[in-house]
Amino acid sequence: MASPEEEEEEEESLDQLPGTVLGTIISKLDVASICSVASTCKTFNACASHILTFIPSFHLLDIAPSIDLLRPLLPPNPYLKSLKLDCARLDDSAINVFVRDSLHQLYLHNCANFSGKLLSEIGGKCADLRYLYLGSVAEKRGRAIHISDLEVLLRGCTQLEELILMFDVPLFLRHNFAQVWALASEKLTSLEIGCVSSVMVTELLIPSLGHHRSPNHFRPPILPGIQKLCLSVDYITDTMVGAISSVLVNLTHLDLRDAPLIEPISAYDLTNSGLQQINQHGKLKHLSLVRSQEFLFTYFRRVNDLGMLFMADNCANMESICLGGFCRVTDAGFKTILHSCSSLYKLRVSYGTHLSDLVFHEISATSLSLTHVSLRWCNLLTNHAIKNLVSNTHLKVLDLRDCKHLGDVALRSISTLPELKILLLDGSNISDYGLSYLRGVINSLVSLSVRGCKRLTDKCISALFEGSSKLELQQLDLSNLPNLSDNGVLTLAKCRVPISELRMRQCPLIGDTSVMALASMQVDEDRWHGCRLRLLDLYNCGGITQLSFWWLKKPYFPRLRWLGVTGSISRDIVDALSRNRPFLHVACQAEELGSNQWDNSFGLYTLDHDEVDELEQLLEEGEYIDEEMEVDNDAELMEYLPL
């Protein structure tokens, strides 16, 4: 017989609420939480199944579902407006499952197994689409995209406002590429292409430069409404920059990046003349010109201070400037930019080989209020530059990676920045004692990197965190610290730092003890119980053995999504871990884990502190998988999904 207390609890159970009230509550949750609720009882399961037929947004990027896993989560839903998926385990056979005519926003990541059919099907069904992101389409061997697929996409999506194509466009779409864009929506205001040639871009914007053009050929303006253009090209050239600047009359945001395979000749390079053509219509607010060192150590050797002067004359209203690889520009050129652009609040310079402290000598006398500053690989900078730079007291992002002459004095200056969120100090000459200066800002920091700061030891952890409370730090990079050992990680665990991403690559003294400490780590009991790590990079840590892999299995590290380990670890051990945690991405080839948000965007990278990863708990924690068990992942996971 039930006790009075048990009867009262039963009467007050949530599943006794009216269906409309219960549905309203559950519909406020994200997809992961809805699935978690569905696993608790039959009432909640039925309610969750119903909610999936009318929720407006379905975002599932933390895991890569198979088609069998995805199908019951995406029942017919005429109200679905926004869909975001990691498609690593999907192919063309899944298109009909997720492509819906009701969609306004579609974000598809890791589409290597899809062919051009994905583009044509979206164009044929999603007439009301406003936003489209397609990543890595047809990268797997045997897949192809035809120009007709792009044609159907552009012809069908007549309401498209933002289009992002992050795949190798020249590999598939070189033929008639320029003509097809005449079909693009007149409402298109933002276009990003992850790989395209400068010649294709020029021919797109100025068709008379293409081959076999009739002198009487007329074509209406291409992309007349474009305000934001982001391109990764083979070469940034004067011709391409001139075409963009003259044709796109409404352009406010221009982001150009190249990665030459060979040293460019004059005709295929950016010169002072090209810079003079930028912002012909006076509307540009954000400019990024970067020469990547991905394949070759090369620079914009044909641009000097005169080019910066030309550009500054046309860019007085600029708010954000990113310049990478301008090796012949000196302090005079960079100073011209700072003193001409009074509205500038984001400044990024990389490989500024002649940029020195003098650029910031009189910055306090300007009207600038910088909030985001990146000065990577500017090796002439010293502590004095930082002392002047922090007169901009509203700095939120400060990237000083690979400025090797910065030391503890710079940290003392940085400690006066009350709003600082991201601080990157890779390769600097700082010490354990110097890091103690950061206690003044550690409570506001979201991301901190001290990778490759060789003087740091275990004491740097206590210098940073002991005695601190209410920490918001989520990303911490301690990679390539030869004197960091298990004792430092034990201190980190003891301080209950609520990090979600921890990188400790190339730390020879880090071993199994560190993994055990992190697995047992508890964070603030008011918010989290157990370890909240989502990313853990232990690549080439000298003391990692098979014992660590026992602690990396469930139920430890319940939220872990990314794991980096040494490639020499037994493949059988890695495979056993993959069977135990089917949604964990294990990297063994020294690749960097996660998105490189510091290099791709000035935006603050923040996570939702209240985000609990309940989906994996639902999908995986139904039964503990013993190390000797092998499972059919999808078959086992399906039983926990709402049907």
CA distance 605 to 614: 22
Contact 209, 234 (CB under 8 A): no
Which tokens is 480 given?
Answer: 């390539």
Which tokens is 199 given?
Answer: 């010649």
- DSSP secondary structure string for all residues of 64-86: ---HHHHGGGS---TT--EEEEE
Residue 240: left (phi > 0), alpha (psi -120 to 50), or beta? alpha
Q: For the chain, how are helix, strand and coil distributed in percent, rounded to 5?
A: 35, 15, 50
Q: Three-class SS of residue 108?
A: strand
pLDDT score of 606: 34
Contact 260, 296 (CB under 8 A): yes
Q: pLDDT by residue (tens digit) across 25-57?
A: 777 777 877 777 777 788 888 888 888 899 999
Helices (H), 107-175: 117-125, 147-156, 169-173
Contact 328, 304 (CB under 8 A): yes
User: Residue-wise over 571-600: b if at least 16 C-beta within 10 A, else e?
Assistant: eebbebbebbbbbbbbbeeeeebbeeebee
Contact 302, 270 (CB under 8 A): yes
CA distance 474 to 478: 13
First to last CA, the chain: 34
| Distance, CA of 252 to chain centre | 22
Cα-Cα-Cα-Cα torsion 358, 361, 366, 370, nearest 10 degrees, comes to 80
Question: Which of these, 298, 378, 311, 303, lies nearest to 338 by C-alpha position?
Answer: 311
pLDDT score of 6: 52
Strand partners, 329: none
Which tokens is 387 given?
Answer: 């002392």
pLDDT score of 618: 40
CA distance 523 to 532: 8
Distances (CA, A) of 241 to 15, 199, 268, 275, 337: 62, 11, 11, 8, 19
pLDDT score of 567: 66
CA distance 223 to 378: 37
pLDDT score of 631: 36
pLDDT score of 412: 97
The amino acid at residue 582 is P
The amino acid at residue 45 is N
pLDDT score of 35: 76
pLDDT score of 25: 77
pLDDT score of 614: 40
CA distance 280 to 249: 8
**Half-sphere exposure of 274 toward its Cβ, with a 13 Å CA cutoff?**
22
Contact 561, 582 (CB under 8 A): no
Q: What is the mean pLDDT of the chain?
A: 87
Residue 377: left (phi > 0), alpha (psi -120 to 50), or beta? left
pLDDT score of 629: 33
Other CB atoms closer than 10 Å to residue 319's CB: what's the count?
16
pLDDT score of 13: 63
Question: Which of these, 600, 577, 579, 597, lies nearest to 588 by C-alpha position?
Answer: 577
pLDDT score of 138: 94
Q: Average pLDDT per run of 10 along the chain, which is 643 residues long?
A: 51 66 76 76 82 91 90 94 96 97 97 97 97 95 92 97 94 84 94 95 79 54 92 97 96 97 95 96 97 93 96 93 97 95 96 96 90 97 97 97 97 97 98 95 96 98 88 95 97 91 96 94 59 92 91 88 82 84 87 62 35 40 35 40 45
